[in-house]
Structure 1
């Protein structure tokens, strides 16, 4: 089974914590779900409070919505202009020689989102911490409290790669392309339209298959499933290496768990529908199906 890495264990991280080129980031965001009918699915709250309560020694904190997403639009977490990202990553000390490790709390999806963004910017020296802070704490490893000390500013020069992010038009076209499989990372009930959607119309993009991001994670440890198990879940839905994959979810976050596992399995032709159901479910011009 061809594999790529992208994953680092807690033991491996502990062994490089004092490395001068290490840039370690807590990427956690919390979603405060709003009442049905409010018109707002959730409010994004940066995880700075839990970071200050306890983080891996030396880590810095990244605010996805506040610093690394488009501002002034209804949709959360949309990929912003390259110049904004170059400035933000540079402020946090990420340079050409940095070795980046990303982690989050409760779910790796915030770390994999940053990993995917960095990949799209041509930056390959980033890894996701397996199990995140949950595993680090469960193993009784050292924690630090208080605000981030940060890293010395650096110059981050992006080399953007085409095709990592796609819009609704490209996704609609992909849904009818026999050489592409569109993958929904939301839970099966939402995929089937069997429970109300916070995003708008219930259901999924026609023709899309369901590989829930939550099923690619061990619910107890928050670690990634072994690659053989992940591969069998994708294969069961007709996701094969000869096809392009376009992944989506609610807001372009949990789908990056699917993309991360597919990348590690050796898939090359991967894309994220960034706006996901936050856009699709509200756009009456776009088809949707349930069941």
Structure 2
């Protein structure tokens, strides 16, 4: 892993705004209709234009950094397209990127995973995101900011991405451990958020919300080591595959696990949106 901090606070970033760090706002909004049902997603571009960290550019995870032709909403782009769009955003292979969003960091960890998938590791996440920035009384800028376009060369790490065939095989593979990051009711099948209720058979459970403190900031990884150990995700003889609804919250687990020495975690990109929609794939409840 690179010699850059995984998590940074507001003071750290404020001291470096005039340096060569590349700050990227990846705000996306996820809302759920009253009661159970599919989540709605919305680009955070308008919110970014209303206010953002000075110097930050905006990466649209919904429109620009996902395959909009895929069956699921946030499917990772192919490497060439990702590289072209990241370069156009002004990010090169030698840059140090600082990510934040205007929520609880799950979008920041999603782009962290996107970047790592394509071989880039010089990434920090602003803990607490834009909320922490504003609460600290730091300056806010409106409008759109850009960086000069550059070249990014992707070097995909396919082992960090799991597809439906790999997840299906993992159910009966003792060298793999599936970890569901959704809330307990959805994990147990008591709430139907996707096409069918339940979880992928054999999955352990680490709700991504347990990785956050009362203020919405990511906890120190050591605080939640025991949770991951209980889930089997720190077993050296097993490779973790994390999943959620659409491959977003699952990246928060991958991010925390990387700080605990597991930088080999794969994310099931299609997650429950893809799995539950295919009635030939098994689910378990309870």
Smaller-chain TM-score bracket: over 0.9
Q: How does 1:227-238 map to 2 (within 5 A)?
A: 227-238=221-232
Hey, what's the Cα distance between the residues in 1 that align with 2:196 and 2:82?
32
Task: Give the CA deviation at 1:142.
Answer: 1.2
Determine whether 1:155 maps to 2:151: yes
Gaps of 5+ in 1: none
Q: CA deviation at 1:43?
A: 3.4
User: Paired residue for 1:212?
Assistant: 207
* Paired residues of 1:7 and 1:129 also in contact (CA < 8 A): yes
Cα shift at 1:37: 9.6
Measure how far apart 1:112 and its partner are.
Answer: 0.5
Q: Residues 195 and 202 of structure 1 are in contact (CA less than 8 Å); yes or no, is this contact kept in structure 2?
A: yes
Alpha-carbon RMSD across the aligned residues, in angstroms, is 1.8
Unmatched segments (≥5 aa) in structure 2: none
CA contact (8 A) 1:206 1:287 kept: yes
Deviation at 1:5, TM superposition (A): 4.0
**TM-score normalized by the length of structure 2:** 0.94
> Is 1:128 aligned with 2:125?
yes
1:246-257 equivalence runs, <5 A: 246-257=241-252
CA distance in 1, matches of 2:213, 2:46: 25
Deviation at 1:251, TM superposition (A): 0.2
After TM superposition, the structure 1 = structure 2 runs for residues 1-291 of structure 1, keeping only pairs within 5 Å, are 5-19=5-19, 21-34=20-33, 41-146=38-143, 148-197=144-193, 199-220=194-215, 222-242=216-236, 243-291=238-286
Q: Which runs of 4+ in 1 moved over 3 A?
A: 32-38
Alignment partners' CA distance in 1, 2:267 and 2:181:
11
1:235-279 Cα deviation digits (max 9, x unpaired): 222322412100000000000000000001111331001000001
User: 1-side partners of 2:10 and 2:246: how far apart?
Assistant: 28
- Give the superposition deviation at 1:136: 1.0
